[in-house]
Structure 1
């Protein structure tokens, strides 16, 4: 491979890495447009509970995210293989937590999930997005109840209760 080809491969893999980071962030900050921008609208999506196109999936998954006051997604160990100048396949592991409560007087109850994402990516007009995704859940675990967002005198860190878009700390990247 020549230097230009090696450089382009690195740039493409970095763009896909940033796409995967953006996927997690836009879920956690409830950024509908940002989440939609991670997929091509015609992408084939299979999460088990949903099979269809990304255009139809994004409103469904964002409704799920809005039903939780707290959520956290971490995708790591991304393996990417470029299959052409405009296509790639990838796999990564994911851990997600989601906490919700029925009313303000109750603590948050939630679960942690572990699984893997089997993705296809496509580069169109110079932009990489997910063109196909299959999610496989490997395990789930109930989490201890969580307090509300009131400051804890023993460990006074801010906590998010985030059910809507537009939080002032969110920075689109």
Structure 2
């Protein structure tokens, strides 16, 4: 029974890392990347392949160009092998640019294939490969920001709805 409990706790922690990754990307909270990835993590998006330092620059330039970002991950499938793990998580990403007005929505359907390692007592992600299944681009016909809703424009750690860290 202790092994089953340990596996359950480990898988919960790994699922937390996936959720934390999606959250920090949406809120462009780059300071939180260090708690999610090991410094020697590797990245492969097809159009970008590199180490953690290069990824930091790539992802900031990519995501900060959007007015809105939403990364919605499905429940991850996690395979444990000792102190290593493989995580497969389907994802839908919707991003909005404001230019040209009233904006363009890009929607990506794909999967994140992640690896993770436990070092000491801590789990972090050690690799990320993104596989795109489908892409769609929609030019907005109207500006939807005039409505009575709270919109996810300008998310950052300084946003009034950002959770304190």
TM-score in terms of structure 1 length: 0.87
| CA distance in structure 2 between the aligned counterparts of 1:13 and 1:39, rounded to whole angstroms | 16
CA contact (8 A) 2:44 2:129 kept: yes
Pairing of 1:65-144 with structure 2 (within 5 A): 65-84=63-82, 86-102=83-99, 106-144=101-139
Deviation at 1:33, TM superposition (A): 1.2
- 1:18 & 1:76 partners in 2: Cα distance? 12
Contact 1:75 1:94 in 2 (8 A): yes
Structure 1 CA distance for aligned equivalents of residues 139 and 34 of structure 2:
32
Q: Which runs of 5+ in 2 are unaligned?
A: none
Contact 1:30 1:65 in 2 (8 A): yes
Contact 1:78 1:90 in 2 (8 A): yes
Equivalent in the alignment of 1:34: 32
Distance 2:138 2:36 in 1: 29
- 1:102-152 deviation line (CA, Å, top 9, x unaligned): 26xx212121001111111111232221111111101001235162533x1
Displacement of 1:27 in angstroms is 0.6
Give, in angstroms, the shift of residue 169 of structure 1: 1.2
Q: How many residues align?
A: 164
Q: Aligned-pair distance for 1:46?
A: 0.5
Aligned to 1:4: 2
Deviates further, 160-169 or 123-132: 160-169
Q: Which moved more, 1:157-166 or 1:116-125?
A: 157-166
Distance apart, 1:35 and its partner CA: 2.9
Q: In 2, are the aligned partners of 1:99 and 1:111 still within 8 Å (CA)?
A: yes
Identify unmatched segments of 5+ residues in structure 1.
Answer: none
Q: Residue 170 of structure 1 aligns with which residue?
A: 162
Report if aligned partners of 1:66, 1:164 keep a CA contact under 8 Å in 2: no
Q: Is the 8 A contact 1:120 1:132 kept in 2?
A: yes
Q: TM-score, normalised by structure 2?
A: 0.91
Moved more, 32-41 or 14-23: 32-41
Contact 1:36 1:55 in 2 (8 A): no
CA distance in 2, matches of 1:47, 1:123: 24
